[in-house]
Every structure is written in C-alpha cells, then in structure tokens.
Amino acid sequence: MPNLTLHQRIEKLEARNTKVEGDKAWETSWTRRLSIMLLTYIVVASYLRFVVHIDPWINALVPVIGFLYSTLTISLLKKKWVMNRKG
C-alpha cells in the first residue's frame, strides 16, 4: 500500500469491510444452516439406504438435529467466550 493515496486506501478498506460483513452474515444465516441441514440429510439418508440397507428417513434426522442444535448453542458459547476474553 505504499503508493496508494489516502482515498484509495480508504476505498480498499471499505471494500474489505463490506466483504467481511457479507461473509459474517452468511456464516450466521438461516439459509446457510438450512442448506447444510438439507445436504446432511441427503448424504446420511443415502448412506443408510444404500450402504447400511436400512430405512433411513427418520434415522437420517439425527445428525441434522445435532447440527441445528450445535449452531444454536455455538453462538451462545461464542458470546460468553468474547465477553470473558474482553475481561
């Protein structure tokens, strides 16, 4: 950044901040959570059906519910961690 003007540096930082905000919004979005849940269900149901040879439709919900529960509790743990870290 040595040859950039102050205005160019500010624009670069603002673009970076916009990207980081978008990434953070995606990480906490329900769209992301639901996508992962759906893909997890499909993969586990397929595995149970074609490899283990059992009726998978209810059993495949176990990891999906586990994932959902983990995403809900992780945010609470993160908040506590950030508060304790600040002192």
Give the pLDDT confidence of 25-45 residue by residue, as tens digits.
998 899 999 999 999 999 999
Global pTM value: 0.72
Question: Contact at 8 Å (CB) between 5 and 20?
Answer: no
Nearest-CA neighbor of 44 among 30, 33, 58, 29? 58
Checking if the pLDDT of 21 tops 70, the result is yes
Residue in the block written with tokens 């609470």: 76
Q: What is the mean pLDDT of residues 40-55?
A: 93
Rounded to the nearest 5°, which phi and psi values hold at 54?
Answer: -125, 165
Tens digit of pLDDT for each residue in 67-83?
999 888 888 888 888 88
Question: Contact at 8 Å (CB) between 9 and 2?
Answer: no
